[in-house]
Amino acid sequence: MTDSPAPVSCSDTIAAIATGAVLSAIGIVRVSGSDTLAVIDRVFTPRAGAPMSERPDRRLVLGRLFGADGGLLDECLATVSRAPNSYTGEDTAELQCHGSPTVLREALKALFAAGARQAKAGEFTRRAFLNGRMDLTQAEAVVDLIDAQTAQAARNAAAQLGGAVTRRTDGIYDRLSGICSHFHAVLDYPDEDIEPFALSGYRAVMAEAAEELSRLFATFRRGSVLKNGVRCAILGRPNVGKSSLLNAIVGYDRAIVTDIPGTTRDTVEEKAVMGGVLLRLADTAGMRATEDPVERIGVERARAAAQDAELVLAVLDGSEPLTAEDHAVLEAAENAPKAILVRSKADLPAAWTRPDVIPVCALTGAGIDALEAAAAALFPPDEAIPAGELLTNPRQAEAVSRALEYVRAAMDAIDAGITPDAVLTEIEGALNALGELSGRVVREDITNGIFARFCVGK
Ligand code: GDP
């Protein structure tokens, strides 16, 4: 991006522990800001030779770290990276200490005593953005990468970190910006008309932009599945082995199981990775048979649970003949966007079978691998969309959809023969939306574009 905000020349110096708060072999404390080198020199003394402020960038130096009271705290490694070639674009340093949470906390205190202050959440990356080291989608990718729960999600975030989204939208931005500059010139110099030939050329550019934006917007569905998981309902009448299956899936994969206070009241979701696919399992354990006619309840219950699901895991007890309620579960599975049928309790003699079920024994884990393969086959990585070009958050999707609406409105304005100022307003709206996506400044670009493309002084 050529028009990044100007680097921040002077900033206060921030410090934070960069690694997790558990015992580990190594823990990292990070420092960034104008006084970084002075601060680091106050707390860290290399074993031999010059202080860190006189060392070259990105070399690990062994030395001693002193606490706020001046006592020896750790024998560790330090490295510095000077502005502008660092993560934040400022002078930065890292201390690679022994990974005791106490050592790291004390190291942080020493840095505070030496002149740094506690960094706020996301402040290093915010500075990287402000200093033009990354755009907003890249900053968001940093969070996505840290949060990634599947290999696919990590791959997409890593590619976004490389600027994949804005590389795509920058082209659209530049082309629309070019049109905008021309329309501006026409408005400023009303004697110059826009030739019909040029106008149809511009419309074609807009149509192409609309198509690209619409393609990009369409990636959001998949992007959010990648990031947030597939909504999955485990259906089955009581005692068929749903909870056991869930435990087997989670245990087998050693997946992270998190309680997410749901968006709806008291709903609890569990996340599990199955076949590389992140599943958001709605807790349907509360479903219980009541005194109403069994068949009707079964149908309603299954339908309600399956209604929102992108994937239904239908669990049918293999050790007992299928009941009316099982048939209701099967019907709900048929109506779901995607479904996997599980014949549970496969260790017991089968009371029935059908070709489209996966026999699973939740007690031994037999059949879970087939279940994983089925999930992977139902949600394959979409090869048509290169990694990094999936929109993964609503902010990005909203900005792209708004840009798309504006471009379409601009095309409509041209088709209706409306005056250039109306077209201009719509294109500026689109540029604004795209500018928001990447975080770049819009008006300045347009102004620059005018001066670059048209000789206003003539
Ligand atoms: P849910 O009500 O559908 O969640 O079913 P549960 O997971 O609570 O299991 C109901 C009963 O079936 C429990 O006694 C389990 O131990 C048993 N069960 C679950 N899975 C299996 C299995 O694969 N084989 C056998 N033999 N019993 C199972």
pLDDT at 288 over 50: no
pLDDT digits 0-9 by tens, 242-252: 888 888 887 64
Does 348 sit in the ligand 1 pocket, CB within 6 Å? yes
Q: How far is the CA of 377 from the centre of ligand 1 (A)?
A: 26
Q: Whose CA is nearest to atom 21 of ligand 1?
A: 345
Q: 84: cis peptide before it, omega within 30°?
A: yes
**CB of residue 246 inside a 6 A radius of ligand 1:** no
Q: What is the pLDDT of residue 193?
A: 66
Query: Which residue in this structure is represented by tokens 């890249």?
Result: 138
Residue identifier of the C-alpha nearest atom 6 of ligand 1: 241
Question: Which of 239, 240, 287 to probe ligand 1 with, by most ligand atoms within 8 A of CB?
Answer: 239
Is 347 a pocket residue for ligand 1 (Cβ < 6 Å)?
yes
8 Å CB contact between 78 and 31: no
Which atom of ligand 1 lies closest to the CA of 344? 23
Distance (angstroms) between ligand 1 centre and the Cα of 291 equals 23
Ligand 1 centre from 240 Cα, in Å?
Answer: 6
- The two three-digit tokens of residue 26, written as one number: 């190594």
- From atom 10 of ligand 1, which residue's Cα is the shortest distance away? 239
Average pLDDT for 222-227: 81
Higher pLDDT, 138 or 361: 361
Mapping DSSP to helix (H, G, I), strand (E, B) and coil, where does residue 89 land? coil
State the chain's mean pLDDT as an integer: 82
Over the stretch 161-197, which tens digit does the pLDDT of each residue have? 888 888 889 999 999 999 988 888 777 776 666 676 6
Among candidate residues 363, 377, 366, the one with its CA nearest the CA of residue 276: 377
Three-state SS string over the chain comes to CCCCCCCCCCCCCEEEECCCCCCCCEEEEEEECCCHHHHHHHHEEECCCCCHHHCCCCCCEEEEEECCCCCEEEEEEEEEECCCCCCCCCCEEEEEEECCHHHHHHHHHHHHHCCCEECCCCHHHHHHHHCCCCCHHHHHHHHHHHHCCCHHHHHHHHHHHCCHHHHHHHHHHHHHHHHHHHHHHHHHCCCCCCCHHHHHHHHHHHHHHHHHHHHHHHHHHHHHHHHHCEEEEEECCCCCCHHHHHHHHHHHHCCCCCCEECCCCCCEEEEEEECCEEEEEECCCCCCCCCCCHHHHHHHHHHHHHHCCCEEEEEEECCCCCCHHHHHHHHHHHHCCEEEEEEECCCCCCCCCCCCEEECECCCCECHHHHHHHHHHHCCCCCCCCCCCCCCCHHHHHHHHHHHHHHHHHHHHHHCCCCHHHHHHHHHHHHHHHHHHHCCCHHHHHHHHHHHHCCCCC
Strands 44-46 and 117-118 turn out to be unpaired
The predicted-structure confidence for 73-130, as pLDDT tens digits, reads as follows 999 999 999 999 999 999 999 999 999 999 999 999 999 999 999 998 778 888 888 8
**Digit-coded pLDDT (tens) for 120-135:** 877 888 888 888 888 8
* Residue of the CA atom closest to atom 20 of ligand 1: 241
